[in-house]
């Protein structure tokens, strides 16, 4: 259904071009961490990586409660004055990215924060735009997009 290779290649080359020694790549659990792993494996330079969990900053806690069995935020580096690229699988309403920025600022004051996503499915509800996008994808509003790695380490996009 999707040309995942093309999306991933496009995202990779955009992110690669933006990297320098001050950059930190931070994956958003769960999907963003998968994309980040994929990017890191292909990178030819060493880059500092970390991950954030957005549960504590979600705006739908009252409706959904806390997520179960989630991974915690893991930021072992000083993010002050660094250039952060948040990595996620999909951007939709923009609410996850908002929560991720809040989580990030609990750890310091980065110099800049940009957003990299494999898939942009549009329909934003907040003034948030990704700077690096694998591609635009149209999916009916009630469908979920899930990105995972297959057994060979390739990216797979499921819609259900």
Partner 1 sequence: MNNGIQMNADGTLRHLLSLENLPREVITEILDQAESFLSVGTRKAKKVPVLRGRSVFNLFFENSTRTRTTFEIAAKRLSADVVNLDIATSSQSKGESLLDLIDNLVAMQADMFVVRHSESGAAHMIAERVPEGVHVINAGAGSHSHPTQGLLDAFTIRHFKKDFNDLKVVIIGDVLHSRVARSQIQVLQALGVREVRVAGPKTLVPQTMKSMGVTVYNDVDLALDGVDVITALRLQNERMEASLIPTAQDFYQNYGLTKERLALADRDAIVMHPGPINRGVEIASEVADGAQSVILHQVTFGIAVRMAVMSLLVG
Binding site for partner 1 (CB under 8 A): 53, 55-57, 61-62, 64-66, 68-70, 72-73, 102, 105-108
CA nearest to 74, candidates 108, 50, 106, 58: 50
Q: How far is the CB of 2 from partner 1 (least distance, A)?
A: 33
Query: Between residues 57 and 82, which has the closer beta carbon with respect to partner 1?
Result: 57
Write the CA distances from 133 to 38, 72, 106, 108, 127, integer angstroms. Answer: 15, 25, 26, 26, 16
Pick between residue 77 and residue 105 the one whose CB is nearest to partner 1.
105
Tell the smallest beta-carbon distance from residue 29 to partner 1 (Å): 11
CB of 81 to partner 1, least distance (A): 15
What is the closest distance, in whole angstroms, from the C-beta atom of residue 110 to partner 1 in the complex?
Answer: 14
Burial 27-46 (b: 16+ CB within 10 A, else e): bbbbbbbbbbebbeeeeeee
Q: Which is nearer to partner 1, 1 or 63 (CB)?
A: 63
Q: Judge contact between 87 and 54, C-beta under 8 A.
A: no
CA pair distance 25, 115, nearest whole angstrom:
10
**Is residue 135 a contact partner of residue 141, using CB atoms and an 8 Å limit?**
no
CA angle at residue 85 from 80 to 89, to 5 degrees? 140
Q: Using the minimum distance from each CB to partner 1, give the nearer residue, 29 or 121.
A: 29
The answer to whether 87 and 26 have CB atoms below 8 angstroms apart is yes
For the CB of residue 48, give the shortest distance to partner 1 in the complex, in Å: 18
Nearer to partner 1, 69 or 152 (CB): 69
């Amino acid at each position: 259904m999707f040309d995942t290779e093309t999306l991933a290649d496009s995202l990779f080359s955009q992110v690669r071009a933006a990297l320098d020694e001050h950059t930190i790549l931070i994956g958003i659990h769960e999907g963003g961490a998968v994309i980040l792993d994929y990017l890191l494996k292909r990178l030819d330079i060493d880059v500092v990586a970390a991950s954030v969990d957005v549960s504590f900053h979600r705006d739908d806690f009252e409706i959904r409660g806390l997520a179960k069995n989630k991974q915690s935020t893991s930021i072992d580096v000083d993010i002050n004055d660094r250039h952060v690229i948040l990595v996620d699988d999909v951007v939709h309403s923009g609410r996850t990215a908002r929560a991720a920025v809040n989580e990030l600022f609990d750890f310091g004051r980065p110099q800049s924060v940009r957003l990299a996503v494999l898939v942009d499915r549009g329909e934003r509800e907040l003034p948030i735009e990704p700077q690096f996008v694998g591609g635009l994808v149209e999916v009916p509003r009630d469908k979920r997009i899930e990105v995972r790695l297959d057994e060979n380490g390739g990216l797979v996009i499921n819609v259900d």
